[in-house]
Each structure stands twice: as structure tokens, then as C-alpha cells.
Amino acid sequence: MEFAIKINNIKKNYGEVSALKGISLDVVPGEMFGLVGPDGAGKTTTIRLLCGLLAPSDGSAELFGLDLVKDKNKIQKHIGYLSQKFSLYGDLTIDENIEFFADLHGVKDYQARRNELLEFTRLTPFRNRLADNLSGGMKQKLALACTLIHKPKIIFLDEPTTGVDPVSRRDFWKILSNLQKDGATIFMSTPYLDEAERCNRVALLNNGEVLSFDTPKKIKSSINKSIVEIVCSPIISAYKLLKEKSGYEVQMFGDRLNVAVDNYKEDFGAIEKRLIENGVQMVDHRIIPTSLENVFIHLIGESANS
């Protein structure tokens, strides 16, 4: 099978700090792949390595069969990179920014492509506006248009929707979905587990290590636990009680708890009894589908205890 990206035991050290501790992944052409994890997990380091902006300390990687180190210049002609920070020119208009990146990538007769991208990102009415005067969501769309001007085979997106308002975030995902339909390979990092659900496959990354790597559906089914959602009061007392003294995996979401149990019929009775005996009022409960967030916290706990 041809891979768009093949990573084999890549490591990256900054002095005595190990940012990546030997990760291995593969991405197939046309896939939307999500690298998911909290700040400091190694997401940005991974993307910068794959873009040739950092050199690996150990291990190897290939992009469409080209070696990441030996063929770096060839690879960079076929990739687009949207970084976390807005890195365009605030004193240039939308049109001028795209023109600049077209020149940077040696794209001639770029005008038709620019018009296409402006329509695609719905920025045409604002093409003469300075980048400094754009909203956060519009800045991200402009950055994406500049990233796509040379028609890259692989698009790297580093937390593209962080700090973007909900409407712009939804629009951005529509754009990514259309790019994938057109055959683009998308490799994105995100701290948002709900966004990861949209990807074909994901890797859950924590402290420079891959905890799980598969489709969201298979990852969610991997822990073999039921998730009981409990609405109760006082919620903080209930959380501490179950977290510290019961041995169950407990997560708090607003006014409710998610408790991971091995056997609902056997475990819930014990949970309910413990809460009531300690003055907690049970309002409601139900079994809910396992989320990626449930699995991620479970795997982090297992990793810490191993």
C-alpha cells in the first residue's frame, strides 16, 4: 500500500527533554488524519518535523515515498503548512497576501486559482481588506487560502480552529470536508476531541507517546467499559467521593459525572448506595455512548500507572 505519510519510531529531543519518544504512524492518501492531545503532548513538534522544519533525533519518515531528511526540498514543494500562529502580513490585503504566497511558491498565472480559493473560503467580498482588519475566523480562512495556492498534496494544519468562534469553526470544517472530497490528504492536530470524531483515523498523543491509533469508532470500543452519566448534587462532593474512595474512573462535566464501570448492573448499585449514604442527592442517571474524551482519560490513567 502507498502511504501519504509513514512515520517509523520518530524521536525528538530538546537537550534532556524528550518531546517525542518514538512514535510510529501511517496516513493513506486522501485521508483526514487527526493528531489529538493536550498542550505539550508533541503535536506541533510532529507537524514541524514532517514539514522539514525540524530534524528528528532518531527514527525516519517518508512522505509519498520520499525520505523526510534526504528529500526535504522535494517534499516541501508538495505540502502546505498552516501554523498555530497567524503568520501573514497585516499591512497587505487578502489579495496581496495570496499573491505573495503564489510568488513564494513559484506559481505563475495564479489569478484564476486565487479567485477560486476566495470563492471557496467565501472571502471574495473582503479581498481588498487588510489582513489586520479581519476577524479571527477570516484570518484562518485567508491563511488556508495562502496554504493552498500551490495545490499541495498534503495539507498540515496545526490546531486550525483554536480561538476561532463557533460559526467560523463550522465553516472551516466544511472547507476541510470539501478539500478531502477533492482528494487532498489532511493531517491536522487538535486539542478538541469532538473535532477528532470527524477524522478518518486519529492518534491520541500524550507526553510524546501515542496512546492509541485507529478509527474513532474502534478507539471508543477498545476500553470495554460502560459510561454511566449521573446528575447529582452537590456535584463536587460526589466527584471527590467517587474519585478518591471508590476506585472508579470519574470525569466531571458541568452538573454531571461520567463514571466508567465494568458491569453496570453490579456497579451502579454500589455507586448509588455510596453517594446516598454520604448525603448526595441522586437526580438522574443513564448509560451514554463512550466518547473519545472518556477513552483518552482512561488511557492517560493507565499510562500513568504502568
The per-residue pLDDT for 306 is 64
Let me know: does 68 contact 62? Beta carbons within 8 Å: yes
Query: Confidence band (pLDDT; 50, 70, 90) for 297?
Result: confident
Instruction: Confirm whether 55 is domain-assigned.
Output: yes
Q: What is the mean pLDDT of the chain?
A: 91
| 196 lies in the same domain as 284 | no
Q: Say how far apart CA 4 and CA 118 lie, in whole Å.
A: 27
Tell me the pLDDT tens digit for each residue of 9-24.
999 999 999 999 999 9
Residues 148 and 251 in one domain: no
Same domain, residue pair 181 and 249? no
Among the three residues 178, 196, 215, which one is the final residue of a domain in this structure? 215
Residues 241-249, mean pLDDT to the nearest whole number: 83
Task: Provide the pLDDT confidence category of residue 237 given band limits of 50, 70 and 90.
Answer: very high
What does each C-alpha distance from 271 to 152, 244, 259 come to in angstroms? 53, 13, 9
**Residue 299 within a domain:** no
Indicate if 59 and 195 belong to the same structural domain: yes
pLDDT in tens, 263-296: 998 899 999 999 999 999 999 999 999 999 889 9
Asked if residue 249 and residue 193 are part of one domain, the reply reads no
Residues 165 and 131 both lie in one domain: yes
Strands 201-206 and 209-214: antiparallel
What is the percent of the chain where pLDDT is above 90? 68
Listed residues 160, 189, 215: the one ending a domain: 215
Overall domain count for the chain? 2
Cell, residue 99? 499573491
Q: What is the pLDDT of residue 54?
A: 94
Same domain as 167, residue 266: no
Mean pLDDT (whole number) for 127-153? 91
Amino acid identity of residue 236, one-letter, is I
> What value does the mean pLDDT take over residues 166-177?
84
Residue pair 238/275 in contact by the 8 Å Cβ criterion: yes
Q: Are residues 208 and 230 in the same domain?
A: no
What is residue 265's three-state secondary structure? Answer: helix
**Residue 27 covered by a domain:** yes
Per-residue confidence (pLDDT) for residue 44, from 0 to 100: 95
CATH number, domain containing residue 188: 3.40.50.300
The pTM of this model reads 0.88
Domain span including residue 115: 5-215
The answer to whether residue 300 sits within a structural domain is: no
For 28-69, how does the pLDDT look when each residue is reduced to its tens digit (9 = 90+)?
999 999 999 999 999 999 999 999 999 999 999 999 999 999
Residue finishing a domain among 185, 215, 245: 215
Burial class (CB in 10 A: 0-12, 13-18, 19+), 114: buried
The CA dihedral of 184, 79, 202, 136, to the nearest 10 degrees, is -90
One domain for residues 206 and 273: no
pLDDT value of residue 166: 84
Q: Are residues 282 and 185 in the same domain?
A: no
Tell me what pLDDT residue 1 has. 67
Cis status of the peptide bond prior to 234, with omega within 30 of 0 = yes
Asked, for residue 301, whether it belongs to a domain, the answer is no
CATH number of the domain within which 231 lies? 3.30.70.270
Tell me the per-residue pLDDT of 103-126, one tens digit each, with 9 for 90 and over. 988 898 899 999 999 998 889 999
pLDDT in tens, 133-143: 998 889 989 99
